[in-house]
Amino acid sequence: MNFSEVFKQTNQLCKVSPDGKYLATCVQYRLVVRDVSTLQILQLYTCLDQVSHMEWSSDSLFILCAMYNRGLVQVWSLEQPDWHCKIDEGSIGLVSSRWSPDGRHILNTTEFHLRVTVWSLCTKAVSYIKHPKACQKGDRDGRYLALAERRDCKDYVCVFVCDDWHLLRHFETETQDLAGLEWSPNGCVLAVWDSCLEYKVLLYSLDGRLLSTYSAYEWSLGVKSVSWSPSSQFLAIGSYDEKVRILNHITWKKIAQFEHPAILDSTKTVYKEVEKRPAVGSDEMSLHSITIGTTLFNTQSKYEISPLPVQIPVVKPDPDRANPKIGISALAFSSDSRYLATKNGGFQVQSLNWHCSGDSVILLGKEQLCLCYMDTDQEDK
Amino acid sequence: MPESSTVKDVLSSSVECRTSPLRRFSLTSLHRNSLGVFCSEDNVQECLSHISQELSSFGLPPVWTAGGGSELNIVAVLNCMYDLIQLHRRGLRTLENMEVEQLKSNSNVDFLQLSTTRLKEQLEISKRENTGLLERERQLQLKVKSLQNCLKNEKEEVQKLQNVIASRASQYNHEMKRKEREFNKLKERLNQLLVDKKEKKQAIDVLNNIGRADGKRSLWKTEKTEAKHEGEMYKTLLSDYDTRQRELQLENAELRKVLQQMKKDMVSILSSRKQAAKGDKHEHGGTQAASEEEDEVFDSSKDSVELYCVHAREKLTNSIRLQWRRLKSHVERLDSQVSSAQTSESKTADAVPRETHEEEMDRLKLEIQQCKDFIQAQQQLLQQQLSSPCDEETASLLSDCYMLQEKERLGDEWKTLEEQRKIFERERRNFTEAAIRLSHERKAFEEERATWLKHQFLNLSPFSDSKKPSLSKSKSAFLISAETEVSAAVAPEKFIKHQSEPPSCVPLTSPSTADLYRTLCLIPEDSSTKPKTKMEHVEESSVFCGNAPVRHKLWDDIQDRTLSQEKNSSI
């Protein structure tokens, strides 16, 4: 394992292009595009203000840089460095900006979620979507965009065709307060879940029919995170009760349930990071089989196998505060749907991302990065 | 009455004394005689003395003295009588009293018995009540415990719900606060906007339009495009359903196959058991027959297409369930049998088969070990054989050690054969020599005959008698040799020795013996004919010396032939 030299970045804005060839980082107001293999700087763009959000388009040709303070969005092209595009939202402000799934439209959410402005880069046309909620998701193929809407204290889901922003379907959901939605990878099912006050996961087909509802329990805090398996066969639901429930796509019934007990004493292998520095941080994960871990920079740490039973240090969250730091906050399936990585509790892992080959998972902490390789030859113990 | 008391005492004390006089008097047979009267006229004295003794034993003054004769003191007698009556009366009274006492005590006893039985019954009843009450108490205690548990659970649940409520409340509060903050921000913004006249418009500033991602032109929003979009959407949904249905179909087919297989296996197992346990099956006879029919019907329609109809599906699942139930019952029966066999039979019965089993096992193990050892030994020897570095001599010696015996035998046989061959050679040589000699002799004989004939011819006269004996001799020799040859031809293996003839032709077994005989036979024939022919020749031709070379030639030919034959045989 080799490490490259250290590059500066701000705001954790560092993304690899969807086709895997380029790496874009933001440093203050500059956008730096490098080649992934050589890490040579290919392009350098200057934005008008500090970049708050940066995103690649789905075809890896354009990069969007949003500056929320100024309400500006600038789009840069890789093929033609001279090409430029600037979107000014004016006095209405900007809260979030993102690409549409087809890579030719930009969706800007204005302040207070007043509306979503759809800017077309092809035609310079503008469309508006009213009453949006904070969740919009495009499907994997880039044909449809699902957007959650709240009107008259009711939640609706709007499905748009990304070609011409034609509203394909508009249906009400049976949720109290829709907290999130997620397309299945095959683009046929939309999973919609309620806010954490109620455990409710609704499954809608592409044409707006309700396929199934799933509710594991009542009253306690509900769903925290949801993830589809890449084959669209499983839906993993992580909840505040520290359990992951897996539903199958035929009957939409629970087929498996994984717990995250505080004391591990059965089948799993537990790797504990032991740091030489006495400072904070033992990132512990219990996955099905981990073999190697890597670290960066000064902190010399290695992973050793802890003998079972292992007590995972749990910080009991303050029950009086809202959105407590318990429960499954991150879920990620590996690309062959063999493994599921989960993050429970208040650990310092910000995101889990699997490598496309399904062999390794990247744990991104606030300052640290860790790669875990699955030993696919071994059977898990 | 002190008298009565003394009398009682006397009575009680004199009980023993009483018997002795009676005994005494039994001897004298003063008891009531045959008439039943104690006293009669003959034994008055004795009765008197007896009575006085008795009275004295009672403590009463004597009535009669021995010397007084038979006269009695009437006063004393009356007194005694009176005393006796009194005594008797007292005794009766006491008897009555005692009887009364006895009755009383009997009644007391009865009463006590009754009361004891009554009390016992009461005790029983109270004991039962006690146990009943204890039982109730126990049940009530259990109930109390369970209720306490319920209470605890309820309390926990209440606690949990309270926690839930608290968290929800905090969540609501948080949301409320967030919304309020947002609202405030909105209000501020609105104020700001109202104040702020300059309104920044939204604008987009693009250098040039870029093409669509898929390169197509953008279309106007028309009904057609809407319909197209709908169509596309439904297409994706349908394709997804299609793939899913296909997958499910495959899975279904596999599962059906598995079920069929299972059913077949179960049927085979059960049918094999059917012969073993027929008794049990009789009860299921009816259902069995029905299900068998069903199975047969089912097996006949093996085409999987049949299974697509709901009834066929149900049939399959029902038949599987039936088979499974049967199998389960059978297995349970076996289990119970095994367990009953284990428990009912004593340990010896269990131990004996186990012991024999163990013995068997040990024996087999021993056998295996022995075989293994044997194999190992063999292998070792083989290895030794192949790889042992022995010296030349032993190597050469050992090289053919396995065939030694055979070789020796072979050698012996060879030797015998060689000997035989030599003998045969010798015999053949002798034979040929004999043949040559014979031929010489024959030549000589022929010459002799020729000369004889010549002489005969020349001496056609009565003076030819002197030559005959030598001729007859040679003739006889010839005949004998022919005979021997004939015998040799007939019995080729016999060693016939002829002492009479110098040319001892020992007949040999030679392949050419027959030929030789033939040729030799031919010779006498020839020779027998030849002389005739010769004679004819002689007769015919007047040239004498012409015959001799002819004869010689003939002889040579014959000799050559014999020699060649000998050569052939020798080869």
What is the DSSP secondary-structure string of A339-374? -EEEEETT-SEEEEEE-TTSSEEEEEESS-EEEEE-
Length of chain B (residues):
571
SS3 A144: strand
Of residues A125 and B241, the one with the higher pLDDT is: B241
Rounded distance between C-alpha atoms, residue B266 and residue B258, angstroms: 12
Helix (H) or strand (E) holding A127: strand A126-130
Rounded distance between C-alpha atoms, residue A35 and residue A43, angstroms: 9
Cβ-Cβ contacts under 8 Å, B221 against chain A? 164, 166
Total Cβ atoms within 10 A of residue B315: 18
Confidence of residue A298 (pLDDT cuts 50, 70, 90): very low
Q: Which of A84, A187, A323 sits opposite B236 (nearest CB)?
A: A187
Q: Of A214, A177, A213, whose CA–CA distance to A194 is shortest?
A: A177
| Interface mutation vs chain A, best among B176, B202, B212, B247, most A CBs within 10 Å | B202
Rounded distance between C-alpha atoms, residue B93 and residue B6, angstroms: 16
Q: Is the omega angle on the peptide bond into residue A309 within 30 degrees of 0, that is, cis? A: yes
Tell if the CB–CB gap between A121 and B210 is shorter than 8 Å.
Answer: yes
Cβ atoms of B482 and B438 closer than 8 Å: no
Radius of gyration of chain A (CA): 22
| Tokens encoding A373 | 């390789």
Which residues face A353 on adjacent strands? Answer: A362
**Distance (Å) from the C-alpha of residue B246 to the closest C-alpha of chain A?**
13
A312-343 burial code (b ≥16 CB/10 A, e <16): beeeeeeeeebebebbbbbbbbbeeeebbbbb
Radius of gyration of chain B (CA): 78
Tell if the CB–CB gap between A250 and B244 is shorter than 8 Å.
Answer: yes
- At B137 the pLDDT is 97
Confidence of residue A272 (pLDDT cuts 50, 70, 90): low
- At A88 the pLDDT is 87
- At A40 the pLDDT is 83
Q: Of B294, B301, B340, whose CA–CA distance to B317 is shortest?
A: B294
Q: Which of B163, B185, B226 sits opposite A319 (nearest CB)?
A: B163
| DSSP-assigned letter for residue A136 | E
Rounded distance between C-alpha atoms, residue B433 and residue B442, angstroms: 13
- At B502 the pLDDT is 43
Rounded distance between C-alpha atoms, residue B193 and residue B187, angstroms: 10
Structure ipTM: 0.73
| Tokens encoding A30 | 């500059």
Q: What angle do CA A16, A18, A23 make, to 5 degrees?
A: 20
Rounded distance between C-alpha atoms, residue B257 and residue B316, angstroms: 11
Q: Which range has the worst mean pLDDT, A201-210, A230-239, A293-302, B503-512?
A: A293-302
Tell if the CB–CB gap between A126 and B202 is shorter than 8 Å.
Answer: yes
- At A160 the pLDDT is 86
Q: Alpha carbon B33 to chain centroid distance?
A: 101
Cβ atoms of A232 and A208 closer than 8 Å: no
- At B410 the pLDDT is 92
Tell if the CB–CB gap between B186 and A112 is shorter than 8 Å.
Answer: yes
SS3 A242: coil
pLDDT per residue as tens digits for the range B509-559? 445 555 655 555 555 544 444 444 444 444 444 444 444 444 555 555 555
**pTM, full prediction:** 0.54
Question: Residues with Cβ < 8 Å from B168, sequence gap 6 or more?
Answer: A197, A219
Under-50 pLDDT residues of chain B: 15-17, 19, 23, 26-27, 279-298, 300-301, 303, 464, 467-477, 479, 481-482, 486-510, 525-550, 571
Q: Of A243, A268, A230, whose CA–CA distance to A345 is shortest?
A: A243
| Tokens encoding A125 | 């046309």
pLDDT per residue as tens digits for the range A253-265? 888 888 776 666 5
Rounded distance between C-alpha atoms, residue B35 and residue B9, angstroms: 34
Cβ-Cβ contacts under 8 Å, B186 against chain A? 112
At position B211, the amino acid (one-letter code) is G
Tell if the CB–CB gap between A219 and B168 is shorter than 8 Å.
Answer: yes
Cβ atoms of B374 and B366 closer than 8 Å: no
Rounded distance between C-alpha atoms, residue B46 and residue B24, angstroms: 12
Q: Which of A123, A164, A221 sits opposite B167 (nearest CB)?
A: A221
- At B348 the pLDDT is 55
Q: What angle do CA B434, B416, B418 make, to 5 degrees?
A: 55
| Count of pairs with CB atoms under 8 A, one residue in A, one in B | 129
Rounded distance between C-alpha atoms, residue A116 and residue A105, angstroms: 12
Tell if the CB–CB gap between B204 and A86 is shorter than 8 Å.
Answer: yes
pLDDT per residue as tens digits for the range A66-122? 988 888 898 988 888 888 888 888 777 888 888 888 888 888 888 888 888 888 888
Pairing of strands A301-305, A271-275: antiparallel
